Chains A and B, each alone.
Chain A
């Protein structure tokens, strides 16, 4: 079954330039139904209010980090199965381990390219 590219995708980053870049890269791989959140708390509110098929989140944000957002998502009965990709400059092994233990679906280290983004999305959505 092909990937449903009309799915609602939430991108989370406190750096508006990065949101713009990810949104454009998603557009180029035909994901056009994209919503933005500027931090973990904003993202959690949007996730609880809406219906999203994928979350792509930065880690290093204040006041709620991407890891805390992931933990909240996994602890929420309605959201816990939502695919969650961490896109971050945090590239230490302990970060990857912590994210995995918190239930991350995949992990992309910045700087990344469009091909990596496409590849990880396909893997997370079961087409990789």
Chain B
């Protein structure tokens, strides 16, 4: 893009800056650097060394911002929000759907066994019922893993939001995603889902805590 800055007269520069501000609210960093270079040239011999040093730093800052923008563009961060994260969340959703279907099939078979057990008597009936009880208990894994995966998806969406904010800050794409925390309700602090085993309270810990209220 051709910089709209040319000429080094102070009044002309001020006039052009006003025009540019009106026409381009989101100014390209390289333009800022151009302006600084032009100002430096215009004030050559009229500014004190500290002023020139400061202006030089502003110019360098403009270059840094321009380089960072180029590097971020080279990283193709749009791909993260447009492809990678949606792919990952879709895969996780598929895992939840497949395990749910498998669990339903297991439960259905287990219910059939229960029906068979009702027609039996003695130790075999008890043994069969004990086995189906263990299967029912084990099937609750699906709820726990589902909640864990939901937490991972929420984390991915939060990353997606942050990436979108970075991309937006560097002017390559408008913001689209709302803040993840803003989407959560009032009970945010209490909706943490399953804890990792090392951090989780067990049933006995919870029983003790509840008993402390009595």
CB within 8 Å of B: which residues of A?
13, 15, 17-18, 20-21, 24-25, 27-28, 59-60, 65, 67, 89-98, 100, 106-114, 116
Contacts and interface: CB of A to CB of B under 8 A. Distances in A.
Q: Among A67, A100, A106, A109, find the residue whose CB has the most chain B CB atoms closer than 10 A.
A: A109
A98 B191 CA distance: 12
A13 B142 CA distance: 13
> What are the 10 closest A-B residue pairs judged by CB atoms, nearest first?
A89-B194, A91-B201, A111-B140, A18-B143, A113-B137, A114-B133, A91-B200, A96-B209, A24-B136, A15-B143
A17 B189 contact: no
A5 B37 CA distance: 86
Nearest to B106: A17
B128 to A, nearest CB: 11
Nearest to A18: B143
Interface of B: 100, 103-104, 107, 110-111, 114, 129, 132-133, 136-137, 139-144, 146-147, 185, 187, 189-195, 200-203, 206, 209-210, 213
A98 B190 contact: yes
A95 B107 contact: no
Nearest to B107: A20
A100 to B, nearest CB: 5
A25 B140 CA distance: 11
A94 to B, nearest CB: 6
A60 B191 contact: yes
B114 A91 contact: no
Contacts of B195: 91-92
B107 A21 contact: yes
Given A24-B110, A90-B192, A100-B210, A67 B187 contact: yes
B202 A21 contact: no
29 contacts: A13-B143, A17-B103, A17-B104, A17-B107, A17-B143, A18-B142, A21-B139, A21-B143, A24-B132, A28-B136, A60-B193, A90-B192, A91-B194, A91-B201, A91-B202, A92-B201, A93-B201, A93-B209, A95-B190, A96-B206, A98-B190, A106-B210, A107-B206, A108-B203, A109-B206, A110-B194, A112-B203, A114-B136, A116-B203
Contacts of A95: 190, 192
A115 B95 CA distance: 30
A40 B187 CA distance: 14
B141 A111 contact: yes
Nearest to B101: A17
Contact of A89 (B143, B185, B202, B210): B143
Contacts of B103: 17
A13 B206 CA distance: 21
Contacts of B129: 28
Given A28-B136, A91-B200, 9 more contacts: A17-B107, A21-B107, A60-B147, A89-B143, A90-B192, A96-B201, A100-B213, A111-B143, A116-B203
Given A92-B195, A94-B190, A109-B203, A17 B136 contact: no
B190 A24 contact: no
A28 B191 contact: no
A90 B140 contact: no
A15 B210 CA distance: 26
